[in-house]
Amino acid sequence: MKLKHIFLAGLAGLTFCATATAASLTSQPYGTTQDGKAVTRYIMTNRNGVSVSFISFGGVITSIVTPDAKGQKENIVLGFDDFKGYEITDTKEGIHFGAIIGRFANRIGNGQFSLNGKTYQLEKNDGPNCLHSGNPGYDKRVWNVKPLISKGRTVKAVLHITSPDGDQGFPGQLDLDVTYSLSDNNEFKIEYKATTDQPTVVNLTNHSYFNLAGVKNSPYGVLDQKIWLNADHYLITDQNSLPTGEISAVKNTPFDFTQPKLVAKHIRQANRQLAYGYGYDQTWILNQGNTKLKPAARVFDPKSKRVLEISTTEPAIQFYTANHLQGNIMGRDGALYRQTDALALETQHFPDSPNKPQFPSTRLDPGQIFESVTILKFGIRK
């Protein structure tokens, strides 16, 4: 009952006044990749003035525009002014702004795992580890996008990609559909559905960077925003941010967000785990961590009064304070992106699961269907 009370308290006031007559989905050209593939931008808008824009390249969410308590609309995710920023920056820096991550999100130790007695070698692109599946990841490919006719008060689009056997070093052909939908309840839903023709491993997420104050006018980044996580435990990592296999309670540590607190409160505390990640970059194990949809996180910005609620069917969430933004990336509207300018909340399975049998399995076999749902709910608290 206590958990339910905490989460529902955050939902109070998460409503906007209707400003449009119906939800809509429009599209427009958005440039061309270096190898000549056309990229399209899609804009979902609901009747409350909330809009989500994404592109066919990587399924990248380029902007999420929501009103604040005064009705002022702002974009709340980091991004770029045009397509070139996403293609070049994602390739060189591995920032993954707003993108779909696969075939395996997060880290795999030593870039290796075994399945049915066979060892598979992946790219080591993060020290000794493979991070977000190496290059080219699903975030660097043009997806097939099928807009769907609005049903009721929801607009949808299905993004599809086929990842062949051996792609990125993983076994089996993976057919993946990711459905984006925006409702008049101010919910942006991400649904993943995948099948394979050989045993493989799958871990998928979205890598959006949020700043609820509005990206272009927040000199203190997200340090003065409050976060709540539905997690009593987190994964201990080594110096390369790879889980050791140890699970630790958050109580009496800087990783306790079971009550809402400022991002800044403990981020500078002398703690080896924070030092390894240059800030927060850990995996929290969600309470009620089964396949049912459950509360995962809530972020609140005291200035704008914006609130972001996240629920998911995934067993974990990675909370990351943009620690590797080094002030050398020019973002949208001339903003210079730096550490703690945003935060990512990546719903997913545990990192390095293929090498740690005690973790929830990420194995997918032929005849099975991988399904996962994450919902972002936008609102304001008066």
SS3 assignment, position 49: coil
| Catalytic position from the list 87, 132, 346, 349 | 346
Q: Which residues contact 231 (CB under 8 A, 6 or more apart)?
A: 250, 257, 258, 284, 285, 286, 287, 317
CB of 45 within 8 A of CB of 65? no
CB 106 within 8 A of CB 131: yes
Query: Which residue out of 96, 132, 207, 233 is catalytically annotated?
Result: 207
Q: CA-CA distance, 234 to 281, in Å (whole number)?
A: 11
Those residues with Cβ within 8 angstroms of residue 324's Cβ, 6 or more apart along the chain or in another chain: 95, 278, 339
Please indicate whether residue 346 is annotated as part of the active site.
Answer: yes
Residues 233, 237, 243, 245, CA torsion sign? negative
- Rounded to a whole number of angstroms, the distance between the first and last alpha carbons of the chain is 24
| Residue 349 bears catalytic tag | no
Does the N-terminal peptide bond of residue 103 adopt cis geometry, omega within 30 degrees of 0? yes
Structure tokens at 221: 């980044």
Please report, as a single letter, which amino acid is at residue 163.
S
Kindly list the catalytic residues. Answer: 207, 346
